[in-house]
Structure 1
Amino acid sequence: MRKVIIFLSLLLVVVIISAFSEDTNNTNNSTNFTESINFVPTEQEVISKEYNIPFIGNSFNGFRDAIAFKESQGRYHVVNTLGYLGKYQFGKSTLKRFKIHNTQEFLNTPELQEEAFLALCSLNKWILRKDIKRSVGKKINGVEITESGILAAAHLAGAGNVKKYLRSYGEYTFKDAYGSSIQHYIREFSGYNTSFIIANRKPVV
Protein backbone atom coordinates (compact mmCIF):
# COMPACT_ATOMS: atom_id res chain seq x y z
CA MET A 1 0.00 0.00 0.00
CA ARG A 2 2.83 2.36 0.87
CA LYS A 3 4.51 1.69 -2.51
CA VAL A 4 1.28 2.47 -4.33
CA ILE A 5 0.95 5.81 -2.51
CA ILE A 6 4.56 6.74 -3.32
CA PHE A 7 4.03 5.77 -6.99
CA LEU A 8 0.85 7.79 -7.26
CA SER A 9 2.54 10.78 -5.60
CA LEU A 10 5.44 10.65 -8.05
CA LEU A 11 3.03 10.30 -10.96
CA LEU A 12 1.10 13.36 -9.76
CA VAL A 13 4.33 15.40 -9.55
CA VAL A 14 5.30 14.40 -13.10
CA VAL A 15 1.86 15.37 -14.42
CA ILE A 16 2.01 18.77 -12.67
CA ILE A 17 5.52 19.50 -14.00
CA SER A 18 4.51 18.52 -17.55
CA ALA A 19 1.41 20.70 -17.42
CA PHE A 20 3.37 23.69 -16.14
CA SER A 21 6.02 23.23 -18.82
CA GLU A 22 3.35 23.12 -21.55
CA ASP A 23 1.68 26.31 -20.26
CA THR A 24 5.04 28.06 -20.19
CA ASN A 25 5.80 27.08 -23.78
CA ASN A 26 2.37 28.22 -24.94
CA THR A 27 2.85 31.55 -23.17
CA ASN A 28 6.27 32.06 -24.76
CA ASN A 29 4.98 31.15 -28.19
CA SER A 30 2.08 33.56 -27.80
CA THR A 31 4.43 36.38 -26.74
CA ASN A 32 6.81 35.77 -29.63
CA PHE A 33 3.92 35.70 -32.12
CA THR A 34 2.57 38.97 -30.75
CA GLU A 35 5.98 40.58 -30.93
CA SER A 36 6.44 39.37 -34.50
CA ILE A 37 3.13 41.01 -35.45
CA ASN A 38 4.12 44.27 -33.75
CA PHE A 39 7.36 44.44 -35.70
CA VAL A 40 5.91 43.66 -39.13
CA PRO A 41 6.39 46.94 -41.07
CA THR A 42 3.52 48.59 -42.88
CA GLU A 43 3.65 48.91 -46.67
CA GLN A 44 4.49 52.61 -46.33
CA GLU A 45 7.32 51.87 -43.89
CA VAL A 46 8.76 49.29 -46.28
CA ILE A 47 8.68 51.76 -49.16
CA SER A 48 10.15 54.54 -47.03
CA LYS A 49 12.99 52.31 -45.83
CA GLU A 50 13.73 50.91 -49.28
CA TYR A 51 14.03 54.33 -50.89
CA ASN A 52 15.39 56.16 -47.84
CA ILE A 53 12.36 58.45 -47.58
CA PRO A 54 11.17 59.45 -44.13
CA PHE A 55 7.40 59.01 -43.88
CA ILE A 56 6.42 62.41 -42.50
CA GLY A 57 3.15 63.19 -44.22
CA ASN A 58 2.19 66.56 -45.70
CA SER A 59 4.21 68.78 -43.34
CA PHE A 60 6.84 71.25 -44.52
CA ASN A 61 9.45 68.59 -43.78
CA GLY A 62 7.49 66.23 -46.00
CA PHE A 63 7.51 68.82 -48.78
CA ARG A 64 11.23 69.45 -48.38
CA ASP A 65 12.14 65.77 -48.38
CA ALA A 66 9.89 65.01 -51.35
CA ILE A 67 11.61 67.74 -53.39
CA ALA A 68 15.03 66.51 -52.29
CA PHE A 69 14.28 62.93 -53.26
CA LYS A 70 13.00 64.00 -56.66
CA GLU A 71 16.04 66.17 -57.32
CA SER A 72 18.89 64.06 -55.96
CA GLN A 73 17.47 61.13 -53.98
CA GLY A 74 18.28 63.23 -50.93
CA ARG A 75 22.05 63.32 -51.42
CA TYR A 76 23.98 66.43 -50.46
CA HIS A 77 27.11 65.87 -52.55
CA VAL A 78 25.50 65.26 -55.96
CA VAL A 79 26.41 67.30 -59.04
CA ASN A 80 24.32 66.41 -62.08
CA THR A 81 25.35 66.38 -65.74
CA LEU A 82 24.26 70.01 -66.15
CA GLY A 83 26.25 71.22 -63.14
CA TYR A 84 23.35 71.59 -60.70
CA LEU A 85 24.48 71.12 -57.14
CA GLY A 86 23.51 69.34 -53.95
CA LYS A 87 20.45 67.87 -52.37
CA TYR A 88 18.08 70.36 -54.03
CA GLN A 89 20.06 70.78 -57.27
CA PHE A 90 20.83 74.49 -57.17
CA GLY A 91 22.18 76.34 -60.18
CA LYS A 92 25.25 78.51 -59.66
CA SER A 93 23.36 81.67 -60.63
CA THR A 94 20.76 81.00 -57.91
CA LEU A 95 23.51 80.44 -55.35
CA LYS A 96 25.14 83.72 -56.29
CA ARG A 97 21.85 85.46 -55.61
CA PHE A 98 22.24 84.30 -52.01
CA LYS A 99 25.94 85.28 -52.01
CA ILE A 100 27.13 81.69 -52.07
CA HIS A 101 30.20 81.56 -54.32
CA ASN A 102 32.17 78.59 -53.01
CA THR A 103 30.40 75.61 -54.57
CA GLN A 104 32.67 73.05 -52.90
CA GLU A 105 31.88 74.48 -49.49
CA PHE A 106 28.20 74.44 -50.43
CA LEU A 107 28.36 70.75 -51.35
CA ASN A 108 30.14 69.91 -48.09
CA THR A 109 27.79 71.88 -45.81
CA PRO A 110 24.32 70.31 -45.40
CA GLU A 111 23.16 73.14 -43.11
CA LEU A 112 23.95 75.69 -45.81
CA GLN A 113 21.98 73.71 -48.38
CA GLU A 114 18.95 73.54 -46.10
CA GLU A 115 19.12 77.28 -45.44
CA ALA A 116 19.44 77.99 -49.16
CA PHE A 117 16.38 75.85 -49.92
CA LEU A 118 14.26 77.69 -47.36
CA ALA A 119 15.52 81.04 -48.63
CA LEU A 120 14.62 80.15 -52.23
CA CYS A 121 11.14 79.04 -51.14
CA SER A 122 10.69 82.34 -49.29
CA LEU A 123 11.80 84.34 -52.31
CA ASN A 124 9.59 82.39 -54.72
CA LYS A 125 6.61 82.76 -52.41
CA TRP A 126 7.12 86.53 -52.40
CA ILE A 127 7.49 86.72 -56.21
CA LEU A 128 4.39 84.55 -56.72
CA ARG A 129 2.31 85.91 -53.83
CA LYS A 130 -0.37 87.41 -56.10
CA ASP A 131 -0.54 84.32 -58.30
CA ILE A 132 -0.83 82.08 -55.23
CA LYS A 133 -3.74 84.17 -54.01
CA ARG A 134 -5.48 84.08 -57.39
CA SER A 135 -4.80 80.51 -58.42
CA VAL A 136 -4.91 78.23 -55.36
CA GLY A 137 -8.05 76.09 -55.44
CA LYS A 138 -8.54 76.41 -59.19
CA LYS A 139 -7.81 73.73 -61.78
CA ILE A 140 -5.58 74.08 -64.83
CA ASN A 141 -5.63 71.26 -67.36
CA GLY A 142 -7.48 69.19 -64.78
CA VAL A 143 -4.81 69.66 -62.10
CA GLU A 144 -5.74 71.40 -58.85
CA ILE A 145 -3.45 74.29 -57.99
CA THR A 146 -2.00 74.36 -54.47
CA GLU A 147 0.60 76.59 -52.88
CA SER A 148 3.05 73.72 -52.40
CA GLY A 149 2.65 72.71 -56.05
CA ILE A 150 3.37 76.27 -57.16
CA LEU A 151 6.49 76.50 -54.97
CA ALA A 152 7.75 73.13 -56.18
CA ALA A 153 7.25 74.18 -59.81
CA ALA A 154 9.11 77.42 -59.09
CA HIS A 155 12.02 75.37 -57.74
CA LEU A 156 12.06 73.47 -61.02
CA ALA A 157 11.45 76.20 -63.56
CA GLY A 158 11.90 79.52 -61.78
CA ALA A 159 9.18 81.80 -60.48
CA GLY A 160 8.94 83.72 -63.75
CA ASN A 161 8.05 80.64 -65.79
CA VAL A 162 5.50 79.51 -63.21
CA LYS A 163 3.91 82.95 -63.32
CA LYS A 164 3.59 82.65 -67.13
CA TYR A 165 2.08 79.18 -66.80
CA LEU A 166 -0.54 80.25 -64.28
CA ARG A 167 -1.48 83.47 -66.04
CA SER A 168 -1.84 81.70 -69.39
CA TYR A 169 -4.00 79.00 -67.75
CA GLY A 170 -1.54 76.32 -68.81
CA GLU A 171 -1.00 77.40 -72.38
CA TYR A 172 2.59 78.41 -71.63
CA THR A 173 4.61 75.25 -71.16
CA PHE A 174 8.05 74.54 -69.75
CA LYS A 175 10.18 71.41 -69.44
CA ASP A 176 13.68 71.12 -68.05
CA ALA A 177 16.49 69.22 -69.80
CA TYR A 178 15.30 65.96 -68.25
CA GLY A 179 11.69 66.38 -69.37
CA SER A 180 10.09 67.46 -66.07
CA SER A 181 7.32 70.01 -66.57
CA ILE A 182 5.67 72.71 -64.49
CA GLN A 183 2.36 70.89 -64.66
CA HIS A 184 3.97 67.64 -63.45
CA TYR A 185 5.52 69.36 -60.43
CA ILE A 186 2.29 71.16 -59.57
CA ARG A 187 0.47 67.84 -59.55
CA GLU A 188 3.18 65.76 -57.87
CA PHE A 189 3.83 68.17 -55.00
CA SER A 190 0.29 69.31 -54.28
CA GLY A 191 -1.27 69.33 -50.84
CA TYR A 192 1.75 69.91 -48.60
CA ASN A 193 1.52 72.45 -45.79
CA THR A 194 3.86 75.27 -46.80
CA SER A 195 2.31 77.93 -44.56
CA PHE A 196 5.55 77.74 -42.53
CA ILE A 197 7.35 79.51 -45.40
CA ILE A 198 7.30 83.28 -45.02
CA ALA A 199 7.30 85.33 -48.23
CA ASN A 200 10.45 87.43 -48.26
CA ARG A 201 11.77 89.69 -50.98
CA LYS A 202 15.34 89.54 -49.71
CA PRO A 203 15.91 86.35 -47.73
CA VAL A 204 19.35 85.93 -46.22
CA VAL A 205 21.28 82.65 -46.02
Structure 2
Amino acid sequence: MKRWILFTCPLIVIFIFSSFSFSLYNVEVPEALKVKEPPPFLFPQDKAYFEKMNVRPPFIGSRYIGFKEALAFKESQGSYSAVNSFGYLGKYQFGVNTLALVGVHDSIHFLENPSLQEEVFEKNIARNKWILRKDIKRFVGKRINGIEITESGIVAAAHLAGPGNVKRYLRSYGRTDVIDGYGTTIANYLKMFSGYDITMIKPVKNPRI
Protein backbone atom coordinates (compact mmCIF):
# COMPACT_ATOMS: atom_id res chain seq x y z
CA MET A 1 0.00 0.00 0.00
CA LYS A 2 2.76 2.45 0.94
CA ARG A 3 4.60 1.60 -2.26
CA TRP A 4 1.45 2.38 -4.31
CA ILE A 5 1.09 5.78 -2.61
CA LEU A 6 4.75 6.65 -3.21
CA PHE A 7 4.32 5.82 -6.88
CA THR A 8 1.04 7.65 -7.52
CA CYS A 9 1.64 10.89 -5.58
CA PRO A 10 4.36 12.23 -7.90
CA LEU A 11 2.14 11.48 -10.88
CA ILE A 12 -0.72 13.46 -9.36
CA VAL A 13 1.56 16.44 -8.63
CA ILE A 14 2.93 16.40 -12.19
CA PHE A 15 -0.60 16.26 -13.59
CA ILE A 16 -1.71 19.28 -11.48
CA PHE A 17 1.28 21.43 -12.49
CA SER A 18 0.91 20.51 -16.14
CA SER A 19 -2.76 21.56 -15.98
CA PHE A 20 -1.82 24.98 -14.60
CA SER A 21 0.87 25.37 -17.24
CA PHE A 22 -1.56 24.58 -20.02
CA SER A 23 -4.16 27.06 -18.77
CA LEU A 24 -1.61 29.89 -18.26
CA TYR A 25 -0.01 29.70 -21.69
CA ASN A 26 -3.20 29.29 -23.68
CA VAL A 27 -5.12 32.34 -22.47
CA GLU A 28 -6.36 34.40 -25.41
CA VAL A 29 -5.29 38.06 -25.36
CA PRO A 30 -8.31 40.42 -25.31
CA GLU A 31 -8.86 42.23 -28.61
CA ALA A 32 -8.53 45.65 -26.94
CA LEU A 33 -4.99 44.82 -25.75
CA LYS A 34 -3.65 43.59 -29.08
CA VAL A 35 -1.17 45.87 -30.89
CA LYS A 36 -2.57 46.46 -34.36
CA GLU A 37 -0.04 49.01 -35.62
CA PRO A 38 3.39 50.32 -34.62
CA PRO A 39 3.40 53.23 -32.14
CA PRO A 40 3.99 56.69 -33.68
CA PHE A 41 7.52 57.11 -32.30
CA LEU A 42 8.93 59.18 -35.12
CA PHE A 43 11.95 61.44 -34.97
CA PRO A 44 11.54 65.19 -35.41
CA GLN A 45 12.49 66.58 -38.78
CA ASP A 46 15.76 68.15 -37.70
CA LYS A 47 17.37 65.37 -35.65
CA ALA A 48 20.52 65.89 -37.77
CA TYR A 49 21.14 69.07 -35.78
CA PHE A 50 21.65 67.09 -32.56
CA GLU A 51 23.80 64.50 -34.32
CA LYS A 52 26.05 67.26 -35.64
CA MET A 53 26.36 68.68 -32.11
CA ASN A 54 27.30 65.17 -30.85
CA VAL A 55 24.52 65.08 -28.27
CA ARG A 56 21.65 62.67 -27.85
CA PRO A 57 18.48 64.25 -26.46
CA PRO A 58 15.79 61.89 -25.18
CA PHE A 59 13.73 61.56 -28.37
CA ILE A 60 10.43 60.09 -27.22
CA GLY A 61 8.55 60.38 -30.46
CA SER A 62 7.24 63.34 -32.38
CA ARG A 63 4.20 63.99 -30.19
CA TYR A 64 3.97 66.49 -27.33
CA ILE A 65 6.17 64.51 -24.91
CA GLY A 66 8.94 64.30 -27.50
CA PHE A 67 8.65 68.04 -28.13
CA LYS A 68 8.88 69.07 -24.50
CA GLU A 69 11.72 66.69 -23.65
CA ALA A 70 13.79 67.76 -26.67
CA LEU A 71 13.19 71.42 -25.79
CA ALA A 72 14.12 70.77 -22.16
CA PHE A 73 17.32 69.05 -23.25
CA LYS A 74 18.29 72.09 -25.32
CA GLU A 75 17.43 74.50 -22.51
CA SER A 76 18.95 72.73 -19.48
CA GLN A 77 19.80 69.14 -20.46
CA GLY A 78 16.60 68.27 -18.62
CA SER A 79 17.65 69.48 -15.15
CA TYR A 80 14.85 70.75 -12.89
CA SER A 81 17.38 72.51 -10.66
CA ALA A 82 19.24 74.37 -13.44
CA VAL A 83 19.79 78.14 -13.13
CA ASN A 84 21.72 79.74 -15.98
CA SER A 85 24.00 82.79 -15.95
CA PHE A 86 21.09 85.08 -16.86
CA GLY A 87 18.92 83.84 -13.99
CA TYR A 88 16.56 81.61 -16.01
CA LEU A 89 15.19 78.76 -13.94
CA GLY A 90 14.48 75.07 -14.10
CA LYS A 91 14.15 72.38 -16.70
CA TYR A 92 12.62 74.74 -19.29
CA GLN A 93 14.55 77.88 -18.25
CA PHE A 94 11.77 80.31 -17.34
CA GLY A 95 12.33 83.91 -16.39
CA VAL A 96 10.58 85.32 -13.33
CA ASN A 97 8.41 87.59 -15.51
CA THR A 98 7.05 84.63 -17.47
CA LEU A 99 6.38 82.74 -14.24
CA ALA A 100 4.40 85.71 -12.94
CA LEU A 101 2.25 85.69 -16.10
CA VAL A 102 0.90 82.24 -15.19
CA GLY A 103 0.59 82.97 -11.47
CA VAL A 104 3.88 81.70 -10.00
CA HIS A 105 5.69 84.22 -7.76
CA ASP A 106 7.97 82.03 -5.63
CA SER A 107 11.04 81.06 -7.67
CA ILE A 108 12.52 78.86 -4.93
CA HIS A 109 9.33 76.83 -4.65
CA PHE A 110 9.26 76.62 -8.45
CA LEU A 111 12.80 75.21 -8.59
CA GLU A 112 12.04 72.63 -5.90
CA ASN A 113 8.83 71.42 -7.51
CA PRO A 114 9.19 69.41 -10.76
CA SER A 115 5.44 68.91 -11.15
CA LEU A 116 4.92 72.68 -10.95
CA GLN A 117 7.58 73.19 -13.62
CA GLU A 118 5.76 70.77 -15.93
CA GLU A 119 2.45 72.53 -15.27
CA VAL A 120 3.96 75.97 -15.96
CA PHE A 121 5.44 74.70 -19.21
CA GLU A 122 2.08 73.42 -20.40
CA LYS A 123 0.29 76.63 -19.38
CA ASN A 124 2.89 78.72 -21.19
CA ILE A 125 2.51 76.64 -24.36
CA ALA A 126 -1.26 77.16 -24.21
CA ARG A 127 -0.76 80.90 -23.68
CA ASN A 128 1.69 81.26 -26.57
CA LYS A 129 -0.60 79.27 -28.84
CA TRP A 130 -3.41 81.71 -28.04
CA ILE A 131 -1.29 84.79 -28.72
CA LEU A 132 0.07 83.31 -31.97
CA ARG A 133 -3.12 81.57 -33.13
CA LYS A 134 -3.57 83.83 -36.20
CA ASP A 135 0.10 83.53 -37.18
CA ILE A 136 0.00 79.74 -36.80
CA LYS A 137 -2.99 79.60 -39.13
CA ARG A 138 -1.37 82.00 -41.62
CA PHE A 139 2.22 80.75 -41.78
CA VAL A 140 2.23 76.99 -41.09
CA GLY A 141 3.28 75.20 -44.28
CA LYS A 142 5.10 78.20 -45.72
CA ARG A 143 8.87 78.59 -45.99
CA ILE A 144 10.87 81.49 -44.59
CA ASN A 145 14.61 81.64 -45.28
CA GLY A 146 14.45 78.04 -46.43
CA ILE A 147 12.81 76.80 -43.20
CA GLU A 148 9.39 75.14 -43.31
CA ILE A 149 7.18 76.79 -40.71
CA THR A 150 5.38 74.39 -38.36
CA GLU A 151 3.26 74.92 -35.29
CA SER A 152 5.81 73.27 -33.00
CA GLY A 153 8.61 75.41 -34.44
CA ILE A 154 6.60 78.58 -33.82
CA VAL A 155 5.78 77.56 -30.24
CA ALA A 156 9.40 76.61 -29.49
CA ALA A 157 10.60 79.94 -30.90
CA ALA A 158 8.08 81.74 -28.67
CA HIS A 159 9.54 79.89 -25.69
CA LEU A 160 12.97 81.21 -26.67
CA ALA A 161 12.19 84.80 -27.65
CA GLY A 162 8.60 85.52 -26.61
CA PRO A 163 5.51 85.46 -28.82
CA GLY A 164 5.78 89.14 -29.76
CA ASN A 165 9.23 88.67 -31.30
CA VAL A 166 8.04 85.56 -33.16
CA LYS A 167 5.15 87.57 -34.63
CA ARG A 168 7.60 90.19 -35.88
CA TYR A 169 9.85 87.52 -37.37
CA LEU A 170 7.02 85.81 -39.24
CA ARG A 171 5.32 88.98 -40.44
CA SER A 172 8.62 90.38 -41.71
CA TYR A 173 9.33 87.06 -43.43
CA GLY A 174 12.51 86.60 -41.47
CA ARG A 175 13.96 90.07 -41.82
CA THR A 176 13.52 90.77 -38.09
CA ASP A 177 15.20 88.08 -36.02
CA VAL A 178 16.20 87.97 -32.34
CA ILE A 179 19.32 86.42 -30.83
CA ASP A 180 19.57 85.37 -27.19
CA GLY A 181 22.56 85.70 -24.88
CA TYR A 182 23.98 82.37 -26.05
CA GLY A 183 23.72 83.12 -29.78
CA THR A 184 20.49 81.22 -30.53
CA THR A 185 17.99 82.80 -32.93
CA ILE A 186 14.29 82.43 -33.69
CA ALA A 187 15.28 80.81 -36.99
CA ASN A 188 17.34 78.21 -35.10
CA TYR A 189 14.34 77.13 -33.03
CA LEU A 190 11.93 77.20 -35.98
CA LYS A 191 14.18 74.66 -37.70
CA MET A 192 15.33 72.65 -34.69
CA PHE A 193 11.83 71.96 -33.33
CA SER A 194 9.86 71.57 -36.54
CA GLY A 195 7.65 68.58 -37.18
CA TYR A 196 6.26 67.73 -33.74
CA ASP A 197 2.55 67.15 -33.21
CA ILE A 198 1.55 69.34 -30.25
CA THR A 199 -2.14 69.64 -31.09
CA MET A 200 -3.08 68.08 -27.73
CA ILE A 201 -2.28 71.44 -26.08
CA LYS A 202 -5.10 73.83 -26.89
CA PRO A 203 -4.79 77.63 -27.02
CA VAL A 204 -5.91 79.28 -23.77
CA LYS A 205 -6.22 82.99 -23.09
CA ASN A 206 -4.48 83.95 -19.83
CA PRO A 207 -4.03 80.44 -18.34
CA ARG A 208 -3.21 80.46 -14.62
CA ILE A 209 -1.82 77.96 -12.16
Q: Would you say 1:137 and 2:141 are equivalent positions?
A: yes
Paired residues for 1:112-131 under 5 Å: 112-131=116-135
Which is worse superposed, 94-103 or 167-176?
Answer: 94-103
Structure with more relative contact order (C-alpha pairs < 8 Å, separation 6 or more): 2
Paired residues for 1:16-95 under 5 Å: 53-95=57-99
- Structure 2 distance, partners of 1:147, 1:106, is 28
- Structure 2 distance, partners of 1:176, 1:81, is 12
SS in structure 1 of the partner of residue 205 of structure 2: coil
Corresponding position of 1:190: 194
Q: Which runs of 5+ in 2 are unaligned?
A: 1-46
Give the ranges of 4+ consecutive aligned residues of structure 1 lying more than 6 Å apart after TM superposition: none
Report the Cα offset of residue 202 of structure 1.
1.6
SS in structure 2 of the partner of residue 172 of structure 1: coil
Across the aligned residues of Structure 1 and Structure 2, the Cα RMSD in angstroms comes to 1.6
Q: Would you say 1:201 and 2:205 are equivalent positions?
A: yes
Corresponding position of 2:13: none
Report the Cα offset of residue 98 of structure 1.
1.5
Amino acid aligned to 2:107:
T
Residues 58 and 70, structure 2, Cα contact 8 Å, conserved in 1: no
Report the Cα offset of residue 56 of structure 1.
1.3
Report the Cα offset of residue 51 of structure 1.
6.0
SS in structure 2 of the partner of residue 196 of structure 1: coil
- Structure 1 distance, partners of 2:137, 2:76, is 30
Query: CA 1:74–1:131 in structure 2 vs 1: closer, same or farther (change >3 Å)?
Result: same
Q: Which runs of 5+ in 1 are unaligned?
A: 1-43
**Which of 183, 188, 202 is the aligned partner of 1:179?**
183
Amino acid aligned to 2:59:
F
Higher alpha-carbon Rg: 1
Amino acid aligned to 2:97:
S
**Which of 154, 166, 169 is the aligned partner of 2:170?**
166
Amino acid aligned to 1:63:
F
Report the Cα offset of residue 53 of structure 1.
3.9
Corresponding position of 1:111: 115
Give the paired residue count. Answer: 158
Corresponding position of 1:11: none
- Structure 1 distance, partners of 2:175, 2:206, is 30
**Length-normalised TM-score, structure 1:** 0.74
SS in structure 1 of the partner of residue 173 of structure 2: coil
Residues 72 and 92, structure 2, Cα contact 8 Å, conserved in 1: yes
Q: Would you say 1:155 and 2:159 are equivalent positions?
A: yes
